[in-house]
Amino acid sequence: EVEIESFETHRVDEANATVDILKWANGKQTWEPEWSLQHQVPMLIYKYWDSVDRRDAATGLDVYHVFRILERATPPRARKDDFRYQVQWVGYRVNVRV
């Protein structure tokens, strides 16, 4: 397993509404997908976005990707195939609403 020392900067792929982050590990810099780094070192991702005045402002993106589904529920009086999902977005802590 690679020890990630820090995140240096990020780049935005506007066509896909995704972000790559430049990481510094073992003396080397590499670009990695944000979602992958969030799986590996979530607290470092959140700390990085806090340091650059939050993800929304830093990326300019208004499209969000699901990182994971936290809960699935059927609302009262809904059809049996109607569900509501609570999700965590890529780049965000669990309790953040966007």
pLDDT tens digit string along 25-36?
888 899 999 999
Enumerate the β-bridge partners of residue 28: 25
The residues, any chain, with a CB within 8 Å of residue 44's CB and separated by 6 or more, are 4, 7, 37
Q: Is residue 18 part of a domain?
A: yes
pLDDT in tens, 48-94: 999 999 999 999 999 999 999 999 988 888 787 788 899 999 999 99
User: What domain count does the chain have?
Assistant: 1
pLDDT band at 1 (very low <50, low <70, confident <90, very high): low
Indicate yes or no: pTM above 0.85: no
Domain, as residue range, for 69 = 4-89
User: Does residue 35 fall inside a structural domain?
Assistant: yes
| Mean pLDDT value of segment 13-32 | 90
On whether residue 19 sits in a domain, the answer given is yes
- CA-atom Rg of the chain in angstroms: 16
Cβ atoms within 10 Å, residue 71: 9
SS3 74: coil
Residue 40 within any structural domain of the chain: yes
pLDDT value at 40 more than 70: yes
